Amino acid sequence: MKNNFLSKPNYIRIYGHRGARGEYPENTIEGFKHTFSLQIKAIEFDVLISKDNVPTIYHNFTLNKDLTKDGNNNWLPTDDIKIYEKTFEEIKTYNVGGIDSNSKYGKTFSKQKTIETARIPSLKDLLELVKSSGKDIFLNLEIKSSPYKQDLIPNPSEMVKLVLKDINDYSLVDQTLISSFDWRILKEVKKQNSNILRGYLSLQQGQSKTIFEDSLWVDGKFSSLELFELPKVIKSLDGHVWCPFYRDVTKENVQQAHDLGLAVNAWTVNDEEDILRMIDYSIDGIITDYPEKVKKICQNENISWF
């Protein structure tokens, strides 16, 4: 199978993270349209499942109170409303067109534009936009799942089935990479449609790390020594793309991945110094909250981008 996500030296694919989170409301149709207007042809976004089995574009398992207003235009008081416990019609009533400026999230993305009409979209809403925007758009669809939490999503088999149905209905298999931190999801994707490229998300540091011996995230028994050479583990699982946290990336592990035929897409790279370092390491894709910024840096450095 051709790996459409491998690039050549001095050639970077720019992914707008959740559309363009630093510039427009995240995971919204308005944000995706903005990213495409910049001539950025790749986007990263997140998918959960609603109570009535609609693949829904949203990052957190519960509605984020810092990003979400109710029908009365008030910020949600808590973070305890589960996506999986609401129908999609109910989910669409929430306003996600801004950020509470008093929150930590709001201070982090203080320059994000407010779009009062923005609502949480379904996967079909986005795929409709993609089909009308051209054949050269690539999708990094992250399926949100956790092996450590219950009652937040359907089982992996059912969740993958629902997502793949939408992708197949819009004939976008060749333009889609499905990624997940929960590698059970990727095993299921391979089982249901081996023609869709699979990206293995990883975090190798901090309290939230997913890569460690006996981790349920990796869905398999691997020693610490094996996990130290993560590209080899991913290759053994017939993976196509390694999606590491950018601080876990070294020139050596990128070279190892490339030697194995894996593409490397690093997340979430926002600062110029880190962007330039990723380019120097010859990674294939940069996932960023500021796609226009990365585009300008590439232009200044005479790096081809797409």
**At 10, is the pLDDT very low, low, confident or very high (cuts 50, 70, 90)?**
low
pLDDT tens per residue across span 164-179? 999 999 999 999 999 9
Residue 53 lies in a domain: no
In the chain, DSSP assigns E strands to 11-17, 42-49, 55-57, 138-143, 176-180, 197-202, 241-244, 263-266, 285-288, 304-305
Residue 67 lies in a domain: no
Q: What is the CATH number of the domain that holds 143?
A: 3.20.20.190
Nearest-angstrom CA–CA distance, 266 and 288? 9
In this prediction, residue 263 has a pLDDT band, given cuts at 50, 70 and 90, of very high
Task: Pick left, alpha or beta for residue 18 (phi over 0 → left; psi -120 to 50 → alpha; otherwise beta).
Answer: left
Per the domain annotation, does 190 fall within a domain? yes
| pLDDT class of 135 with cuts at 50, 70, 90 | confident
Domain around 28: 11-43+123-305
3 state SS of 211: coil
Q: Does any domain span residue 91?
A: no
Q: How many domains does the chain have?
A: 1
pLDDT band (50, 70, 90) for residue 7 = low
pLDDT at 207: 93
From residue 73, give the alpha-carbon distance in Å to each of 41, 97, 269.
33, 11, 33
Look at residue 139 and tell me if it is in a domain: yes
Q: Are 58 and 26 in contact (CB under 8 A)?
A: no
Res. 125: pLDDT tops 70: yes
Instruction: Give the C-alpha separation, 160 to 219, whole Å.
Output: 16
The mean pLDDT of the chain is 95
User: Per the domain annotation, does 199 fall within a domain?
Assistant: yes
Say if 158 falls within a structural domain.
yes
pTM for the full predicted model = 0.96
Alpha-carbon distances, residue 254 vs 23, 84, 87, 230 (angstroms): 29, 37, 42, 10
Q: What's the DSSP call for residue 301?
A: T
Within-domain flag for 6: no
